């Protein structure tokens, strides 16, 4: 069933199930986000998206008389802290569901805690392979790199007549390594030669040696699997070395922060995502307007996916009669989520079940169509 979101209380009241004046109980959701450290630029947008959605839903009366309360914790983009935050949210705060963590590295570490505790965990920014294989309590509405990267490459090749590429990726991170694996397969499938493959590590700041080697091979584009903290300086240093070819990036490079961190060097970056700020979908226009009014800045993919995620869970809750027994409620939410469909700011959405590990059932991935964009000035411009 498709629904168009709106800022108006009239449209949002469909989520309430009862009048706003009814006595409301509280349902707690955890948000584990990287609010500090190198991944903080993603986490801040994620927090904003969740807070905006919660504010709108609660203003319309909540869900079935329940007011949503977000318990937000900083997992710092670190695996160990992600595990600690998940344990706190599950066993101390006793939340019904956890959103996050931000990075795929942290998700691989923390999601088994939720699976073992039979608590739904919902990723909004994790796109690495294998994450939902952890188990059937694991969900995500972030489209996998395996689904997005081939479309990104195909579109860039069509527009830029790319015949050969160099590859640069982070080799010590689950997300960037998964991105590399999917880029490699897509390039092989498209029969695009690779002139050289270079690597770096999280926290590196000097990439001139790798870029000098890349320049000597004269590629038509650089395929880059990186988080924005390393990816933006890579673009800056490439332009300083006179490398003026397009960059083809993954999910980690799809952030408006690139325009600040790579100021003057951010043009020519190609990324794919189910969301674009340029989408004319009414739900998206309403979201962008509300986000800009509340935060005095434009949203990005990570804010949009967080915003949609809370509405997806709210839709699932409409068919759940909460018992007050937290473990029963967690099981009820887990059972209700897989069949949810939604037409939100990122467009039509539904889940598909992933393969599990061994004989255990897998979790649920997003099924959405990506759009491909190129950075020009301070915008991601849709390219067909």
- In this structure, what CATH number is given to the domain that contains residue 225? 3.40.50.2300
Q: Are 380 and 279 in contact (CB under 8 A)?
A: no
Is residue 375 a part of any domain in this protein?
A: no
DSSP symbols for 263-325: TTS-TTEEEEES--TT---HHHHHHHHHHHHHHSS---HHHHHHHHHHHHHHHHHTT----S-
Same domain, 20 and 99: yes
Is residue 77 a part of any domain in this protein?
A: yes
Same domain, 128 and 37: yes
Same domain, 313 and 220: no
- Which of 273, 293, 324 is where one domain is finished? 273
Tell me, what's the pLDDT at 24? 52
Tell me, what's the pLDDT at 14? 42
The total number of structural domains in the chain stands at 2
Residues in the chain: 384
Tell me, what's the pLDDT at 359? 82
Q: Are 143 and 362 in contact (CB under 8 A)?
A: no
Same domain, 259 and 286: no
d(CA 381, CA 384): 10
Same domain, 206 and 322: no
d(CA 375, CA 362): 36
Per-run averaged pLDDT (10 residues), the chain, 384 residues: 41 39 74 96 96 98 95 97 98 98 97 98 96 98 96 96 97 95 96 98 97 98 97 98 97 92 96 94 97 96 97 97 95 98 97 91 95 95 92
Same domain, 245 and 220: yes
Q: Within a 10 A sphere around the Cβ of 137, how many other Cβ atoms?
A: 27
Is residue 2 a part of any domain in this protein?
A: no
- Which of 273, 303, 319 is where one domain is finished? 273
Is residue 13 a part of any domain in this protein?
A: yes
Is residue 30 a part of any domain in this protein?
A: yes
Residue 26: give the domain boundaries.
9-143+278-369
Same domain, 265 and 285: no
Is residue 22 a part of any domain in this protein?
A: yes
Q: Is the peptide bond before 94 cis (omega within 30 degrees of 0)?
A: no
Is residue 127 a part of any domain in this protein?
A: yes
Tell me, what's the pLDDT at 358? 83
Is residue 381 a part of any domain in this protein?
A: no
Same domain, 137 and 15: yes
Q: Are 4 and 343 in contact (CB under 8 A)?
A: yes
Same domain, 255 and 310: no
Same domain, 53 and 152: no
- Which of 273, 289, 316 is where one domain is finished? 273
Radius of gyration over alpha carbons of the chain, in Å?
Answer: 21
Q: Are 222 and 169 in contact (CB under 8 A)?
A: no
Q: Are 145 and 251 in contact (CB under 8 A)?
A: yes
Same domain, 265 and 293: no
Q: Are 89 and 116 in contact (CB under 8 A)?
A: no
Same domain, 175 and 124: no
- 78 token code pair: 């670190």
């Amino acid at each position: 069933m498709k629904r168009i979101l709106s800022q108006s209380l009239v449209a949002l009241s469909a989520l309430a199930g009862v009048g706003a004046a009814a006595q409301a109980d509280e349902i707690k959701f955890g948000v584990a986000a990287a609010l500090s450290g190198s991944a903080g630029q993603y986490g801040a947008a994620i927090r904003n998206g969740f807070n905006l959605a919660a504010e709108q839903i609660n203003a319309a009366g909540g869900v079935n008389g329940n007011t949503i309360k977000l318990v937000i914790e900083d997992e710092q983009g670190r695996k160990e802290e992600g595990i600690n935050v998940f344990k706190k949210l599950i066993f101390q705060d006793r939340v019904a569901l956890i959103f996050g963590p931000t990075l795929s590295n942290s998700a691989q570490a923390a999601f088994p805690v939720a699976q073992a505790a039979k608590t739904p965990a919902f990723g909004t920014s994790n796109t690495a392979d294998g994450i939902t294989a952890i188990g059937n309590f694991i969900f995500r509405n972030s489209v996998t790199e395996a689904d997005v990267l081939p479309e990104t490459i195909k579109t860039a090749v069509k527009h830029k007549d790319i015949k050969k590429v160099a590859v640069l990726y982070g080799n010590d991170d689950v997300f960037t390594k998964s991105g590399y694996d999917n880029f490699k397969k897509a390039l092989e499938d498209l029969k695009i030669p690779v002139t050289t493959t270079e690597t770096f590590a999280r926290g590196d700041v000097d990439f001139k040696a790798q870029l000098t080697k890349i320049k000597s091979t004269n590629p038509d584009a650089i395929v880059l699997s990186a988080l924005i903290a390393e990816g933006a300086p890579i673009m800056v240093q490439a332009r300083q070395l006179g490398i003026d070819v397009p960059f083809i990036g993954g999910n980690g490079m799809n952030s408006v922060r690139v325009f600040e961190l790579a100021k003057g060097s951010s043009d020519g970056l190609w990324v794919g995502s189910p969301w674009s700020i340029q989408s004319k979908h009414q739900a998206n226009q309403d979201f962008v307007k509300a986000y800009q009014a509340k935060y005095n800045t434009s949203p990005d993919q990570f804010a949009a996916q967080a915003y949609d995620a809370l509405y997806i869970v709210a839709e699932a809750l409409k068919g759940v009669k909460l018992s007050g027994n937290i473990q029963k409620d967690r099981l009820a939410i887990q059972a209700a989520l897989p069949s949810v469909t939604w037409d939100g700011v990122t467009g039509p959405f539904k889940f598909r079940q992933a393969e599990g590990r061994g004989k255990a059932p897998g979790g649920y991935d997003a099924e959405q169509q990506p759009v491909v964009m190129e950075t020009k000035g301070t915008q991601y411009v849709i390219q067909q």
